[in-house]
């Protein structure tokens, strides 16, 4: 059973979140497996229209799924090797970059037709949408350039020379900047959006990939795919302020800005690094399945979904306790899923199965693990434990706590954040487990390290 260390108390007791909670087995069910085109790799959800758009990389099409009935209602021909549709829902537009056709297809989502094919540079990758300036920024990985598309006219209005093999850029609209990672140049090109010119180049690690920006703090987080690190950039000063070691071949991070957490998938380490962005340190490394291929965060329900390419599974991480609470069986070669909280559904594209797996997500949650569990006092045959409330109470308020000593099963129950277990035997090595309970039931446990009485 996989475990993930959460924290250590001053007494040296380590709190551990178990890989499977009591709710794990029933957390999700497959409600549909939808056949789509060849090589579906990325999906984009429009909750307003209740549509899911699936780029089929190997047959030059986009499948449109009606999420009310879980059925394909249209197949839209686009260019060769389409990937990662970018949605502008208020304007009813979908932008699909076509890697082998050197173009971007513009789709009108009201009638599912292509209204424009825009020629860009060689081998375009996933663009960044700028709704404030009505632009799309397209990195051309083999032209070492950035195509700037005006969304009103669907024309290229500028081409910016950047570094070697640019990847998906990150937009900081507040500061009027675009940060373009150059995967073969170990650098970030800083593009001024007023002048569409490069105004700075930031040296980072080897193989920088698409990042995440927190505009409130002015920090950009860039995974260095070939250097097992994340560069933290001050977006005002255009300087690296920290370099954080993570797992092997990191990429595709997800940011929870409200909780100051960054989650980074490490495909070659079969793990997810959890970074506290207030201290720029890794606070947990969560083991997942084989070759995690991206991350999708649901901050509302404290969940992170991690598709594991080699296993055909999705690891479900409780982000309050940094523990895997379920492993979902998807198709072959799953990639980053889409979460629909309105319908309580998870949509997972399966590249090797030419399908999308639809999971029903649970809508009621038990609490996350108690924090800072520690053995405060050991005297004779008794043990007094203390803790603090979980990060998340779940779907309803906490009604109490239960602490169990193992072996033997001696138990105490309380509504406070301390209790004393009695009847312990000398010479026995005990582990103490604490859970919070709400009306849904007992939540994810926290455990101490073993201690001999």
Residue-level pLDDT, tens digit, the chain, 453 residues: 222 222 222 233 333 333 333 333 334 589 999 999 999 989 999 999 999 999 999 999 999 999 999 999 999 999 999 999 999 999 999 999 999 999 999 999 999 999 999 999 999 999 999 999 999 999 999 999 999 999 999 999 999 999 999 999 999 999 999 999 999 989 999 999 999 999 999 999 999 999 999 999 999 999 999 999 999 999 999 999 999 999 999 999 999 999 999 999 999 999 999 999 999 999 999 999 999 988 999 998 899 999 999 999 999 999 988 999 899 999 999 999 999 988 889 999 999 999 999 999 877 888 989 999 999 988 889 999 999 999 888 888 999 999 999 999 999 999 999 999 999 999 999 999 999 999 999 988 999 999 888
| 427 domain-assigned | yes
Cα–Cα distance, 156 to 12 (Å, whole number): 60
| Residues 208 and 224 sit within 8 Å (Cβ to Cβ) | yes
What percent of the residues of the chain are helix, what percent strand, and what percent coil, each to the nearest 5? 5, 55, 40
In a domain, 418, yes or no: yes
Give the pLDDT confidence of 114-147 residue by residue, as tens digits: 999 999 999 999 999 999 999 999 999 999 999 9
Q: Is residue 413 part of a domain?
A: yes
Is residue 352 in some structural domain? Answer: no
pLDDT at 392: 87
At residue 395, the pLDDT reads: 83
Structural domain boundaries enclosing 429: 371-452
**Whole-number Å distance between alpha carbons of 202 and 312:** 37
Residue 304 has a pLDDT of: 96
Evaluate whether residue 339 is within a structural domain: no
Q: How high is the pLDDT of residue 363?
A: 74
Q: What is the pLDDT of residue 420?
A: 96
97 belongs to a structural domain: no
pTM listed for this prediction: 0.85
Within 13 A of 387's CA, how many CA atoms are on the CB side? 31
Burial string for 397-416 (b: 16+ CB within 10 Å, else e) reads ebeebbbbbeeeebebeeee
Residue 446 lies in a domain: yes
Instruction: Give dist(CA 325, CA 20) in Å, integer.
Output: 4
260's CB contacts (< 8 A; 6+ apart) are 276, 277, 278
Cα distances (Å, whole numbers) of residue 226 to 41, 179, 184, 245, 254: 22, 19, 10, 12, 19
CATH number (domain holding residue 392)? 2.60.40.10
Residue 52 lies in a domain: no
At 299 the three-state DSSP class reads helix
Number of domains the chain is built from: 1
């Amino acid at each position: 059973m996989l475990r993930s260390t959460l924290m250590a108390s001053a007494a040296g007791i380590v709190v551990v979140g178990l890989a499977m909670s009591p709710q794990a087995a029933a957390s999700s069910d497959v409600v549909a497996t939808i056949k789509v085109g060849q090589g579906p790799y990325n999906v984009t959800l429009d909750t307003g229209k209740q549509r899911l758009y699936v780029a089929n990389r190997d047959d030059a099409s986009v499948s449109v799924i009606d999420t009310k009935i879980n059925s394909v209602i249209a197949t839209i021909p686009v260019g060769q090797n389409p990937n990662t549709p970018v949605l502008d829902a208020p304007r009813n537009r979908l932008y699909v970059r076509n890697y082998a056709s050197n173009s971007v297809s513009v789709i009108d989502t009201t009638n599912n037709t292509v209204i424009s094919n825009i020629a860009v540079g060689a081998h375009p990758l996933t663009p960044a949408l700028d709704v404030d300036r009505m632009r799309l920024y397209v990195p051309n990985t083999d032209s070492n350039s950035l195509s700037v598309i005006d969304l009103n006219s669907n024309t290229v209005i500028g081409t910016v020379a950047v570094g070697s093999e640019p990847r998906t850029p990150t937009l900081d609209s507040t500061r009027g900047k675009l940060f373009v990672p150059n995967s073969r140049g170990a650098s970030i090109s800083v593009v001024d959006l007023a002048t569409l010119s490069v105004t700075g180049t930031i040296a980072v690690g080897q193989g920088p990939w698409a990042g995440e920006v927190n505009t409130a703090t002015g920090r950009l987080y860039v995974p260095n795919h070939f250097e097992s690190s994340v560069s933290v950039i001050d977006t005002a000063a255009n300087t690296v302020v920290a370099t954080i070691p993570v797992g092997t071949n990191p990429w595709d991070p997800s940011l929870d800005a409200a909780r100051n957490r960054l989650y980074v998938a490490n495909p070659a380490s079969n793990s997810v690094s959890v970074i506290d962005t207030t201290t720029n340190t890794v606070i947990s490394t969560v083991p997942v399945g084989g070759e995690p291929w991206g991350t999708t965060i649901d901050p509302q329900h404290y969940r992170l979904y991690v598709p594991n390419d080699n296993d055909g599974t999705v690891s479900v991480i409780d982000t309050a306790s940094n523990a895997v609470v379920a492993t979902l069986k998807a198709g072959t070669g799953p990639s980053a899923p889409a979460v629909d909280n309105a319908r309580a559904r998870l949509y997972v594209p399966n590249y090797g199965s030419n399908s999308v797996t639809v999971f029903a997500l649970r809508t009621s949650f038990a609490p996350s693990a108690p924090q800072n569990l520690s053995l405060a006092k050991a005297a004779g045959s008794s043990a007094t434990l203390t803790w603090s409330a979980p990060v998340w109470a779940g779907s309803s308020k906490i009604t109490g706590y239960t602490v169990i000593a193992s072996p033997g099963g001696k138990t105490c129950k309380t509504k406070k954040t301390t209790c004393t277990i009695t009847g312990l035997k000398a010479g026995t090595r005990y582990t103490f487990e604490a859970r919070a309970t709400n009306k849904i039931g007992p939540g994810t446990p926290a455990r101490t390290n073993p201690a001999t009485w």
